Amino acid sequence: MPLSPHTRIRSRYPFCKIVSYHHAGRQFLTVTLNLGIDGMKIETHYPLSNNEELNFKLILGENSICSKGRVVRSESLPGKRTVSDVEFIELSEQNLATLQSHLTILEEWPRPQDMREGKGN
C-alpha cells in the first residue's frame, strides 16, 4: 500500500493513540498526532530519516496493530521534538479491518467545531 512521498489520499484524524516502535536497536513509546487508513503522524525526541522503516505496535482501544511503516517526512520543532509522517507499508487484512473499524467510529463522533455550531445532535 505504499504511496508516493507526499501523497495522502485519505483523511487523517487528530487522534492521540499510544505507539511503540523500534529504532536503532531500541524500543520507544510515543503517541500519534493524527491517524488515518494510510498512515500516522508521530512525535519523537529525535529526527527519523526519510524512507526509514519502523516496526510498530499501535494501540487502538482493546485492539492493537503490529506492522511496518516507512518515514515519509520528518520535521524538527523547538524543544528537541520531531514530528514524522509514517505511511503503513505492511498491513495484514486483519489489521486493516481493525484500523478501518476504529476509524469508522471516529468518523461518527461529532467534531468539537460541530458541537459549537449545533451540528452534533
DSSP string of 3-68, one letter each residue: --TT---S-EE----EEEEEETTEEEEEEEEEEESSEEEEEESS---TT-EEEEEEEETTEEEEEE
Averaged pLDDT of the chain: 83
Q: Which pLDDT score, from 0 to 100, does residue 97 have?
A: 93
Mean pLDDT of 86-93: 93
Work out the end-to-end distance of the chain between its first and last CA atoms, rounded to an integer number of angstroms: 36
Cβ atoms of 60 and 43 within 8 Å: the answer is no
pLDDT band at 114 (very low <50, low <70, confident <90, very high): low
**12-116, what's its fold?**
Thrombin, subunit H (2.40.10)
pTM of the model: 0.78
pLDDT tens per residue, range 21-53: 998 889 999 999 999 999 999 998 888 999 999
Q: Which pLDDT score, from 0 to 100, does residue 118 have?
A: 57
The ranges assigned to domains in the chain are 12-116
For 104, the enclosing helix (H) or strand (E) is helix 93-108
